[in-house]
Structure 1
Amino acid sequence: MHSQVIITGGGIGGIGAALMLGRRGVQVTLLEREPELTEGGFGLQLGPNITRMLKQEGVFDSIAGGMVFPKRLAFRNATTGEFLNFLDCDDMERRYGSRYAVMHRNDLLQALAQGARATGNVTILNSEKVVDFTDHGDHVSVATDTGKTFTGEVLLAADGIHSRVRRQWVGDAVVPTGYVAYRGTLPGDRVSADFDFDDLTLWMGPGLHFIQYGLRDGQELNQVAVFRSPGYLRGDEDWGGPDELAERFAGTFPPVEEGMRGLSMVRGWPMADLEPLDSYTRGRIALLGDAAHATLQYLAQGAGQSLLDGASLARHLSVLGDAPWSPDAVAEAWAGYEADRVELASRVQRTSRFWGEMWHVDTTGAIIVRDQLFRITDQYDYKIVDWLYGPVVDESAPMPLLAATAER
């Protein structure tokens, strides 16, 4: 089977790229190793920069039914419970032309897959594990464990943080942090009546944080607990287990400690990222998503940045026309993709590390300084996020300043 584009990996990045390419008339074959398309984890966040792009790509309406749109991003101290500040999502929509959204990861994946198939240009093949790939100069070939060989003009490697393609190019390893995440959802009828489903709440504590927000029109509460593992710091072989989770969150503010008990206690997800790269392409092969720029989740941009990759690749590859694509034409498309993505995605990686350090400070002095910085920051001063959520579409005066400590 010969396609214009072969994609390896059926996660959000790979499927999103397939959809946006297919909508532009590009023939795509996507190979996924698992027997079904499914996303691990639970909720995800899509900033205004991502929802605006999805509108521009014409795919927002098809997935918006599964979205929830918070009114505030609220920041609180996980030990004392103090409400520190918030970002106003209504005003963010005015400034950036689109809304902050959250949704279930698998809901997003299935909506993207349905849209990709509906283009008539995308073939999704499950149970096809890639075992080899070759850049022949004038085309690429991919071999799978079923004995099949697929050929295409280019290969897009969306095969995750442990990317086989990246390992052959760079030979680097994931960068562990010693933090582990536990995720889970609660049915809406089991959530305290005091919980405000209009808020996405971040609780920050010493060496830990806790995030809560509603999913599926308030039918579920998504929760994520992240903490620095004492076992990892000691060099233990087995670290980050449920016993450490309970120990680290003992004594936090009651809604945090109670919420932690509603998590999946079977296993945690060790948190790691990759070092930024200067290039995502080589020959007829390009990396996208976590294979290119795996990032820590503190800016809530991992899935969104992979979707931005797909949009950029679709724009630059769709203008190449019918096969065959010359090496010069592919090189020009890759240059456009890297100009769009490398600098910004690398900044997201680096800034995410910084925000994680700030959230998790664990000395008394550092906690006092962090909380005071949150208290005194004007909710409508967007200097620290314009680079991420921009471009700004409305530079008029923001809403009148609200008191940062005001509770609704």
Structure 2
Amino acid sequence: MTNLEKAVFVIGGGIGGLGAALAAAEAGQKTVVFEQAPQFGEIGAGIQMGPNAMAVLDRFGLADEIAKYAVFPQRLVLKDVFTAKELSALDLGEEFRAKYGFPYIVLHRSDLHRVLFEACEKNPLISLINDQVIETVEETPAGVTVTNQRGEQFTGKAVIGADGLWSKTRKYFSEDQPICSHYVAYRGTIPISEISSNANMDDVIMWIGPNLHVVQYPVRRGELYNQVVVFKSSNYQEGSDDWGTPEEMDRVFEGCHPLVENALSFIQRQIRWPMYDREPIENWTKGNFTLLGDAAHPMLQYLAQGGCQALEDASYLADMLKVYGDNFEKAFTAYQEERIPRSAKVQKSARTWGEIIHAENPVSILLRNTLLENKEAKEFEMIDWLYGYKKIPAKI
């Protein structure tokens, strides 16, 4: 048995796991991150970071480095997928920044992950280990013991499960399974030079229609254009991959606006991303073992808050570890008492927002559009609860 009794273990080296490692290290804890992949990295395309996430990145001293890769959009825009009519916009300019303290940014997921990874690499309290599929977690008199796919065991002071939607650590708290929404996404980035001059590089644009949407925005300092195409499949079959195909995507988007048709012509069709979430759970802590990020509260992408909520988790966890020191049971309990209600609200709201933007009923669509069109771009009341979260302290 390999003994690391004086370390906190983080299972999973994604955005949430690396954030958790930085949080534990900030609280003075020696930390080991176990990542199942042969090397640390992030797949996917763009990611949106609201001011609630930027507050955490600033806390960890990473805001300036992130800014080197980010794009700072001026507006979030909703457009009709068939007519291109602008239905609503949210102004992200000076008033937004002043109100929430931080900007709204978009960037490539791999750029965000790399900045977090390099910060962990430089931190003398953090060790990063690859090729570690953690199969079991067990509390013992000596500490918390984890066992990997080769039967190797490691014992530490505490464990944070940050192993994502398909988490193996969540099974210790719930027997639930991911819930498929019957929606799929196709993602990708293309060089800015391929984009029509009609595209507005200052906006994050969401084209919406019945059971479908397309999101577009620039990333990597404006060098690439990120596109995400999402639709509900009428061919969904549990246990099958033969649904939500590129051919079905083409059929579903027939008749959409030419700018959207152009977007579909560039989208990468090799990787299909079925969209899942889970129901909120009432407890994700036991003794010196807790969950964080998608392992704790996987959510649909419609509020662009999955990564943001993982970073919020990390920030509040850092605070509790500072308050309670090596009393991990108390620290983890206090952490989840704050984070479960907050993250559950975001999970449920993401589902509701998905129903709103994908509305099929003509009456629902008319009501939605009327309400959106009468909303001013600098009305922030609807988003205060999301971006005005006050449990993130300033940089320490």
Name the TM-score, length of structure 1 as normaliser.
Answer: 0.91
Which residue, 338, 359, 368 being the options, matches 1:340? 338
- Given that 1:137 and 1:283 are in contact with CA atoms closer than 8 Å, whether structure 2 keeps it comes out as no
Is 1:47–2:50 an aligned residue pair? yes
How far apart, in 2, do the equivalents of 1:20 and 1:140 lie?
19
* 1:279-358 paired onto structure 2 within 5 Å: 279-321=283-325, 325=326, 329-358=327-356
How far apart, in 1, do the equivalents of 2:323 and 2:31 lie?
15
Change over 3 Å in CA distance of 1:145–1:382 after alignment to 2: same
Q: Please, which runs of 5 or more residues in structure 2 have no aligned partner?
A: 391-396
What does residue 200 of structure 1 align with?
A: 204
What does residue 27 of structure 1 align with?
A: 30
Kindly state the Cα deviation for residue 23 of structure 1 after the two structures are TM-superposed: 3.3
- Given that 1:137 and 1:284 are in contact with CA atoms closer than 8 Å, whether structure 2 keeps it comes out as no
The code of the aligned residue for 2:320 comes to H
Is 1:57–2:93 an aligned residue pair? no
The code of the aligned residue for 1:218 comes to G
Structure 1 window deviating more from structure 2 (56-65 vs 75-84): it is 56-65
Is 1:256–2:234 an aligned residue pair? no
Which residue, 95, 101, 107 being the options, matches 2:99? 95
C-alpha distance after superposition, 1:93-148 (max 9, x if no partner): 12111100111111111110100111111000001111222111551011112443
What does residue 149 of structure 2 align with?
A: 145
* 1:242-281 paired onto structure 2 within 5 Å: 242-281=246-285
How far apart, in 2, do the equivalents of 1:377 and 1:88 lie?
11
How far apart, in 1, do the equivalents of 2:239 and 2:17 lie?
36
What does residue 228 of structure 2 align with?
A: 224
Count of matched residue pairs: 386
C-alpha distance after superposition, 1:163-222 (max 9, x if no partner): 111123211011111000110111011111121111000111111000000001211000
Identity %: 37
How far apart, in 1, do the equivalents of 2:19 and 2:222 lie?
26
Change over 3 Å in CA distance of 1:320–1:152 after alignment to 2: farther
How far apart, in 2, do the equivalents of 1:264 and 1:162 lie?
24
Kindly state the Cα deviation for residue 44 of structure 1 after the two structures are TM-superposed: 0.4
How far apart, in 1, do the equivalents of 2:29 and 2:46 lie?
30
How far apart, in 1, do the equivalents of 2:68 and 2:89 lie?
26
* 1:49-88 paired onto structure 2 within 5 Å: 49-88=52-91
Q: SS of the counterpart of 2:135?
A: strand
- Given that 2:138 and 2:145 are in contact with CA atoms closer than 8 Å, whether structure 1 keeps it comes out as yes
How far apart, in 2, do the equivalents of 1:234 and 1:11 lie?
27
Name the TM-score, length of structure 2 as normaliser.
Answer: 0.94
- Given that 1:160 and 1:291 are in contact with CA atoms closer than 8 Å, whether structure 2 keeps it comes out as yes
The code of the aligned residue for 1:330 comes to F
- Given that 1:76 and 1:201 are in contact with CA atoms closer than 8 Å, whether structure 2 keeps it comes out as yes
Q: SS of the counterpart of 2:157?
A: strand
Which residue, 174, 177, 181 being the options, matches 1:173? 177
Q: SS of the counterpart of 1:377?
A: coil
Kindly state the Cα deviation for residue 346 of structure 1 after the two structures are TM-superposed: 0.3
The code of the aligned residue for 2:104 comes to Y
What does residue 377 of structure 2 align with?
A: 379
How far apart, in 2, do the equivalents of 1:64 and 1:304 lie?
16
How far apart, in 1, do the equivalents of 2:337 and 2:175 lie?
24
Change over 3 Å in CA distance of 1:92–1:106 after alignment to 2: same
Which residue, 107, 128, 150 being the options, matches 2:111? 107
Q: Please, which runs of 5 or more residues in structure 1 have no aligned partner?
A: 393-408
Q: SS of the counterpart of 1:66?
A: coil
The code of the aligned residue for 1:170 comes to S
Q: SS of the counterpart of 1:111?
A: helix
- Given that 1:180 and 1:226 are in contact with CA atoms closer than 8 Å, whether structure 2 keeps it comes out as yes
What does residue 400 of structure 1 align with?
A: none
Change over 3 Å in CA distance of 1:387–1:128 after alignment to 2: same
What does residue 118 of structure 1 align with?
A: 122
Kindly state the Cα deviation for residue 340 of structure 1 after the two structures are TM-superposed: 2.5
Which residue, 11, 17, 27 being the options, matches 1:8? 11
Kindly state the Cα deviation for residue 384 of structure 1 after the two structures are TM-superposed: 1.2
Kindly state the Cα deviation for residue 21 of structure 1 after the two structures are TM-superposed: 2.1
How far apart, in 2, do the equivalents of 1:57 and 1:182 lie?
32
Kindly state the Cα deviation for residue 279 of structure 1 after the two structures are TM-superposed: 1.7
How far apart, in 2, do the equivalents of 1:35 and 1:10 lie?
11
- Given that 1:63 and 1:112 are in contact with CA atoms closer than 8 Å, whether structure 2 keeps it comes out as no
Q: SS of the counterpart of 1:365?
A: helix
- Given that 2:50 and 2:104 are in contact with CA atoms closer than 8 Å, whether structure 1 keeps it comes out as yes
How far apart, in 2, do the equivalents of 1:33 and 1:138 lie?
25
Q: SS of the counterpart of 1:232?
A: coil
What does residue 390 of structure 1 align with?
A: 388
Kindly state the Cα deviation for residue 46 of structure 1 after the two structures are TM-superposed: 0.5
C-alpha distance after superposition, 1:235-286 (max 9, x if no partner): 9762111101111112111111110121111131111101001122112110
Q: SS of the counterpart of 1:251?
A: coil
Q: SS of the counterpart of 1:33?
A: coil
The code of the aligned residue for 1:44 comes to I
Kindly state the Cα deviation for residue 49 of structure 1 after the two structures are TM-superposed: 1.1
The code of the aligned residue for 1:379 comes to A
